[in-house]
Structures are given as structure tokens and as C-alpha cells.
Amino acid sequence: MLAARYRVEVRDRDGKLVTVIEGDSKSFTMNFIKLLIASHYNQNDVPTFSVYNVIGDVFYTGNIQTPYVGVPWQIFFIDYPSFYISFSPVPAIWLGTSSCANPALANGPCGSPVACCFGSSFPFSPYNLSPGVPCYGVTSCSPSLTEEGWAITITNQWLNTSHSPVTVGSMALVSGVVAISSATAGEVSGEVFEPYAIIVDNLPSPVTVWPGFLITVSYTIYFPV
């Protein structure tokens, strides 16, 4: 069904393009496939799969083990305010410092997460992510029909706001689903937002992003026509 391409661009402080990498994405993740399969069922017979969020915490499809997502809802969700409403993560493409041993089985980008969130503990800050921009600048607002089929391009820009160079070895397309954290006697008592990786890829060679440099990362997913 799905083929995806990734593109990585690094620009220096003057906006000059210093690195471009483009390639076929290798790995829709097992976590995504489990959520996708569970989304075919109804509430009465949805299978129980264990799924891991980007930091490796488990949640479940179905309604038996908590935290659970029931029949997964909006598995392609990249809505910026909903990501940011209670904590600092932002959609949609996160970066890690090292390669993943097996991207298809990874929960997110590997090594230390360096681009994922707002906060001074991360060297990259989101750039051009704005509530005032159509679809927050994360993606186009509607599909486009290309020679390769219907295309969805999702993009993030991250600015190295630290004083040190940062090495990027892997990237992940991150969506999120809502899970119920606890329920007793039919009463739901909590909801948690679970960011999870749809796709994880290793870069063919690590990319160094110097202080003040901007890295633009994008995935384009194609649905054949």
C-alpha cells in the first residue's frame, strides 16, 4: 500500500544549503501496523496488542489491559495543539542521535532524542511551527495527486539552539493516540496522549548540525494511483 520517501536538508546560519539526503523509507513500524490492524475491528472484538510509545512505555489496543486505546482512533493524528496541550512534544518528525538496530521494531528515533519537544533540555527547537500557519506548517492541508499517487508530505524544521554540534542518526514520523489510563467498574478515570512512531529510519550516514543551523526533515507517503 504505502511507500514513503524521506528528505533531510541542513542549512547554515545564512540559509545556505549544506546537506541534502533523500531516500526510500525503510520502515513502517510494528507498532503502527498493530494499531492499523486493530482499527479494523469494533469495540466487541478488537484484539489486544501491546504497543509502545516513543519512549518505550507500553499501552494496549482493546479494552482489557490499561492503558488502553480500545479501537484505535485517529492513528494519523498530527494535530499540533493536541500534542502540546498538556506537555511539550510536537508532531511530527523526531530526531535521534544514533542509528536503530532494527528500525521496524524501534519505538522512536534511537539514541538520545534531540528533536521532539519544546524545552531547554533539547538542543533543537521547533522552527516555523505556528498556530497561525495553515495546518501549522507541518503538512499541506489537503492531498495532492502526483505521478506517484496521492502524496502526503509532513515536514518539521528544527533549529539547533544549543552551543554544540548535534549528530543526527535516525528519524521518526510521530503521530499520537489517546489512551485510557485507568477505569473501574465501567468508569473511565483518565486519558493519556501516547505519541508513537509510524515510521522509523536510519540516515545513510549521520548528519552533523552545527549551532544555529537549521535541519528540515520531511516524509512523503504515497498511495498508488
Per-position x/- string for 124-143, each x denoting binding to another protein as judged by CB under 8 A, each - no binding = ----------xx---x-xxx
For another protein, the closer of residues 69 and 115 by Cβ is: 69
Q: What angle do CA 208, 212, 214 make, to 5 degrees?
A: 65
Given a contact cutoff of 8 angstroms between Cβ atoms, the answer to whether 118 and 156 are in contact is no
Nearer to another protein among residue 128 and residue 167 (C-beta):
128
Q: Is 26 in the site for another protein (CB under 8 A)?
A: yes
Q: Is 205 in the site for another protein (CB under 8 A)?
A: no
Q: Which is nearer to another protein, 96 or 176 (CB)?
A: 176
Identify the residue whose cell numbers are 505519541. 195
Q: Which member of 18, 19, 41, 128 binds another protein (CB under 8 A)?
A: 41
Q: How far apart are CA 88 and CA 204, in angstroms?
A: 29
Nearest by Cα to 217 from 177, 161, 169, 176: 169
Q: In terms of CB distance, is 47 or 190 closer to another protein?
A: 47
Residue 27 or 216: the one with the smaller Cβ distance to another protein is 27
Query: CA-based diameter of the chain, in Å?
Result: 60
Our finding on whether 220 is near another protein (CB under 8 A) is: yes
Question: Can you tell me which of 150, 165, 182, 204 binds another protein, judged by CB under 8 A?
Answer: 150
Q: How far apart are CA 140 and CA 134, in angstroms?
A: 8
- Which are the contacts of 72, defined by CB distance < 8 A and separation ≥ 6? 35, 36, 38, 39, 61, 177
Q: Which residues sit at the interface with another protein, rule CB under 8 A?
A: 1-5, 22, 24-28, 30, 32-34, 36-37, 39-43, 45, 47, 71, 73-82, 104, 134-135, 139, 141-143, 145, 147-150, 152, 220, 222-225
